[in-house]
C-alpha cells in the first residue's frame, strides 16, 4: 500500500453536495481527478456545485436524494453503479441543525434531525458498503462535528446525533479492520456554511428570537468552506481515522481530553452573555 490513497480515477459519492462543506469536498476531489456522484435534496444547489467544478475529463452525475428516505437511499447504489461502475468513496455529509434546550425541542423535531444526521448516515452506509467492499481500496467518510466531541447546552439534539455518528463510525472501523474499507470520522469546528441560517427553530420560539439565536451561532462559523474541504480531502488521502477541522476543533478536542467532565464550565465563559 502506498503512502497516500490515490484519488485520481476513483469515484466518490457525496451527500449534501449542493452547498457548504459538501461542495468544497467535491471541488477538492475533482481537482485530484476523482469522478463524482453528487447528491442533495436541492437540485439547484447541485447544479451550482457542478458549474463551479473543474470537470474536464471527469464523470460527474447529479442526483436528487433525501437521505432520510430509506427507499430512495436503498435504490441509490444501483443508480451509481449504472452511471459509474462502482464507488470507492462515500462521504456522508448531509446534515441539519436544530437549536434549543431538550424541553424546547419537540419529539417530532428531534426525530426529524436524527433521521437526517444519524439514520441517513447509517442507511447510506448499509446501502453502499457492498460497493465499497468491491473496490481495491475504499473509504467511508462520515462528517460528525466538534459537537460530536463536546456537547454544549442548547445543542442537545444536534450533539446527540453527532456523538452517534462518531460512535457508529469508530465501531464500524473496528469491524472493518483488515478489509479494503477504511473509515474516517470528521469533526469540523466553525465552518462558514449556511447551516445556521437553515437551522430549524424550536416550537414556541418567535421569529425575532430565532433570528437572534441564528446570528449568535453564526459568529462562530469562521473558516471558509474551501479550506475545510481541502483539510478533509487531505485527511482522506492520508487515510486518517479522525480529522479535526479548524483550530477551534483542535482546541476543544484537547479541552475535552483534559477536562472530560467539566469542559462546559470552561467553554461557557467564552460565550456571549
For residue range 193-231, list pLDDT tens digits in order.
776 556 666 676 656 655 555 555 556 667 899 999 999
Using alpha carbons, list the distances in angstroms from residue 123 to 70, 118, 176, 177, 201.
Answer: 7, 9, 17, 21, 26
pLDDT at 58: 96
Where are the strands (E) in 47-94, listed by range? Answer: 60-64, 89-92
Q: Which residues are catalytic?
A: 158
Which residue ranges of the chain lie beneath pLDDT 50? 273
Rama region for 153: left / alpha / beta (φ>0; ψ in -120 to 50; rest):
beta
Residue 47, SS3 per DSSP: helix
CA 246 to chain centre: 15
Task: Identify the bridge partners of residue 245 per DSSP, sorted by sequence position.
Answer: 188
pLDDT at 195: 65
Report how far residue 14's alpha carbon sits from residue 2's, in angstroms, rounded to the nearest whole number.
Answer: 24
- How much is the pLDDT for 99? 86
pLDDT of the residue at 254: 96
Q: How far, in Å, CA of 219 to CA of 101, rounded? A: 20
User: Tell me, what's the pLDDT at 22?
Assistant: 97
**Cell triple for residue 84?**
459509474
Amino acid at each position: 500500500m502506498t503512502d497516500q490513497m490515490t484519488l485520481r480515477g476513483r469515484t466518490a459519492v457525496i451527500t449534501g453536495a449542493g452547498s457548504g462543506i459538501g461542495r468544497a469536498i467535491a471541488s477538492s476531489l475533482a481537482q485530484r481527478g476523482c469522478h463524482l456522484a453528487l447528491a442533495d435534496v436541492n437540485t439547484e444547489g447541485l447544479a451550482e456545485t457542478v458549474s463551479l467544478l473543474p470537470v474536464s475529463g471527469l464523470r460527474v452525475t447529479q442526483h436528487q436524494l433525501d437521505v432520510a428516505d430509506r427507499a430512495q437511499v436503498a435504490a441509490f447504489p444501483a443508480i451509481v453503479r449504472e452511471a459509474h461502475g462502482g464507488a470507492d468513496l462515500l462521504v456522508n455529509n448531509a446534515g441539519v441543525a436544530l437549536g434549543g434546550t431538550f424541553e424546547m425541542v419537540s419529539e417530532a423535531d428531534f426525530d426529524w434531525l436524527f433521521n437526517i444526521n444519524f439514520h441517513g448516515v447509517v442507511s447510506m452506509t448499509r446501502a453502499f458498503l457492498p460497493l465499497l467492499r468491491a473496490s481495491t481500496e475504499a473509504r467511508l467518510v462520515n462528517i460528525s462535528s466538534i459537537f460530536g466531541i463536546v456537547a454544549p447546552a442548547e445543542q442537545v439534539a444536534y450533539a446527540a446525533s453527532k456523538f452517534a455518528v462518531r460512535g457508529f463510525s469508530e465501531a464500524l472501523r473496528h469491524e472493518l479492520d483488515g478489509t479494503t474499507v477504511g473509515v474516517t470520522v470528521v469533526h469540523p469546528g466553525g465552518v462558514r456554511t449556511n447551516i445556521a441560517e437553515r437551522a430549524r427553530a424550536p416550537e414556541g420560539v418567535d421569529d425575532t428570537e430565532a433570528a437572534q439565536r441564528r446570528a449568535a451561532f453564526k459568529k462562530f462559523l469562521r473558516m471558509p468552506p474551501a479550506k475545510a474541504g481541502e483539510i478533509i480531502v487531505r485527511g482522506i488521502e492520508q487515510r486518517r481515522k479522525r480529522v479535526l477541522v479548524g483550530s477551534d476543533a483542535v482546541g476543544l478536542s484537547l479541552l475535552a481530553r483534559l477536562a472530560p467532565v467539566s469542559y462546559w464550565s470552561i467553554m461557557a465563559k467564552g460565550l456571549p452573555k
